[in-house]
Structure formats: structure tokens, C-alpha cells
Structure 1
């Protein structure tokens, strides 16, 4: 079940990147925000966005908007055009694509790392439960490893999974003791 979810997640992340790459975008545009043409006929309306690919010197109402709405406002162009705001914009889509690809790769690496940790967790728990020895006192553990080398300490040094599991168990015991001290005895550990 988990594998299907992760596969769908990866497809959902990578599919938009492929779709963006397949489309063609212009790096420059003339963006004009104007009221609907019905405003010159006396009715109130919302504003409308018109976008055209024209040179910077032709980014105005006459070049971008009038060819599209000329029939609707015939004879009232001088009343309609001053209500429009036209701006020439340029952007670098190559940088945008590179940033999107980097973000997708980072997310993909994090998903792969998460899958690795999910696969590693059963191995850690299986090995740690087999070699688990409960310690009642932290001083006993340090004196055993300092004075003589126990078989458990040798196993911990020899195997990375055992070392990680041992540290994980030690941390869990500390958290459990802190909970016990705080909730049962209402005291903090030093």
C-alpha cells in the first residue's frame, strides 16, 4: 500500500514538470488591464485582462486592445482607452525552469531518503530487539565499557545498525524516564 502511495506521489510531483516543459512561454509581454467594453455603453462592469506579444514601444491600448474589442466600442475609443493600464513585462523563463527543476529534485531526494528510512526501520527494530539488554543505570553502562569490553559493546562497535539501534533505545529510555519523572513525580531530569 505504501509503495503505491509513494509512486503516485512521485508521479504527481514529476508530471507537472513535464507539462510545463511541453508548453511554450514568451519571455516578454504587454499586459493591459481594462474595464469590459460594456462600460462605455453606461453599464458598470469588472476589469478585464488583455495580454499581447508586442514590442515595448507598441504596448498601448491602440495596438493591444482595440483590435480585439474594436467592434464593441466603435466610436468611443477615446473614452475607453484612458481607463486602461498597459505595462510591458519581461521575465526569464529559463531561470524559472531551473529553479522548478531544482525544487523537484530536492523533493525527490527527500522522498527517496524517507523511503530508505522506512525500509531501514524494520531492520533496526529486528536487530535491536534480538540484542536488547535493559540497562537500569547509566553509570553501569559507562563503567562496563570503560573497564572491560562486553560482548554487547563489541557488537555495537562492529555493526552500524546495532550502534544506531543502541542509541535509539538509549534515547527512548531517556524519554520514558523523563516522562515518568515529569508526569508521575513532577520533577525534571538534570
Structure 2
């Protein structure tokens, strides 16, 4: 799948996510009751989730059944922290955004990353063959930049520790 197709799919999914109207429960506390079917009902399992106080989280109050029907029901009062969930989701989205921006910067700096040579099949890279010329030139540029940086660091160390001078 190409970059343009992926980007279009991403935009469509974002628009669908924004436009959808979902009814959800956003409270931090809730009561969840699960009951097996009663003798006079024909559905399988009855589940209700309601926002009530912990002392009101009983089968009689939530399911509106008799005490005899509530013997096999299970009601739990649950606490959750929606702020933590929101922070984690925002962090993950921000991380994905940073990675997307990083990918775009790499593509802008070296557009040949996306191109494959038509005469060389992709599997040669995994069999120990020589890397493609565009990849090699990119790696050579990175290597020369790293050597320049190491040379500058070495010069700074000499100026600071031996000559006691700071670079301007």
C-alpha cells in the first residue's frame, strides 16, 4: 500500500471517528449486575450497568427482581480512573504523531527510501547482497555526519580540559 493510500485511509478513519455518535458511560464509578435468565424470561443473560452509590448496588435495586431470583445474580461496584485512561490515550496519539512527523522528515530528506530498484528483487537484501546504491549513499551521508560530530566533540573536549577555553 502506498503512502498516499495510507494517508487517505487515515483521513477517512479520523473523519468517521469524529462524526460517529457513541453513547457511552464516562463516570468513574458504576454498578454492574450480571444475572442468569429467570424462569419466566426467554433471554440468556441479563446485564445492566448503572451509575449508583455503592450501597445501592444490589440486584433488587438494579435488576428489579425478587430476592429469590437475585440469589444467582452478581452485582459489583467498580471504580475506574478516566483521567488516567485519557492521559494514556493522548500520550499514545502524540507518540504516533511524532513518529508520523519523523517518517515525513525522513522521506523529505531522502525520497529514495520509498523507491525500490526495478531490476533488483527485494529478497536480495535479506540474503546478504550489497545494499542498494540509494541506501548506501544515505548511510554514507549519515556516517560522515557522525564523524564530523565526533570530531567536534573531540575538539571541544581538548579546548575545555587541556586549554581551559570554552567554544563560542
The answer to whether the superposition gives a TM-score over 0.5 is: yes
Contact 1:32 1:51 in 2 (8 A): yes
- TM norm structure 2: 0.56
Selected match of 1:92 from 81, 87, 90 = 81
Match of 1:41 in 2: 40
SS of residue paired to 1:31 = strand
Runs of 5+ consecutive residues of structure 2 not aligned to the other structure = 115-137, 146-168
User: How do 1:165-176 residues align onto structure 2 when only pairs under 5 Å count?
Assistant: none
Match of 2:10 in 1: 9
For residues 64 and 90 of structure 1, the distance between their equivalents in structure 2, rounded to whole angstroms, comes to 17
For residues 61 and 22 of structure 1, the distance between their equivalents in structure 2, rounded to whole angstroms, comes to 24
The total of aligned residue pairs comes to: 121
For residues 87 and 20 of structure 2, the distance between their equivalents in structure 1, rounded to whole angstroms, comes to 15
Residues 60 and 123 of structure 1: is their aligned pair in 2 closer, same or farther, counting only changes over 3 Å?
same
Residues 51 and 124 of structure 1: is their aligned pair in 2 closer, same or farther, counting only changes over 3 Å?
closer
**2:118 is the counterpart of 1:117:** no
**2:72 is the counterpart of 1:83:** yes
Larger radius of gyration: 1
For residues 29 and 107 of structure 1, the distance between their equivalents in structure 2, rounded to whole angstroms, comes to 32
SS of residue paired to 2:52 = coil
Runs of 5+ consecutive residues of structure 1 not aligned to the other structure = 71-76, 126-159, 168-190
Residues 109 and 17 of structure 1: is their aligned pair in 2 closer, same or farther, counting only changes over 3 Å?
farther
SS of residue paired to 1:30 = strand
Match of 1:163 in 2: 141
1:118 Cα offset (Å): 2.1
For residues 104 and 75 of structure 2, the distance between their equivalents in structure 1, rounded to whole angstroms, comes to 50
Residues 44-68 of structure 1 deviation map (CA, whole Å, 9 limit, x = unaligned): x6322111111000100111110xx
- Structure with a larger share of its residues in helix: 1
**2:61 is the counterpart of 1:63:** yes
Match of 1:31 in 2: 32
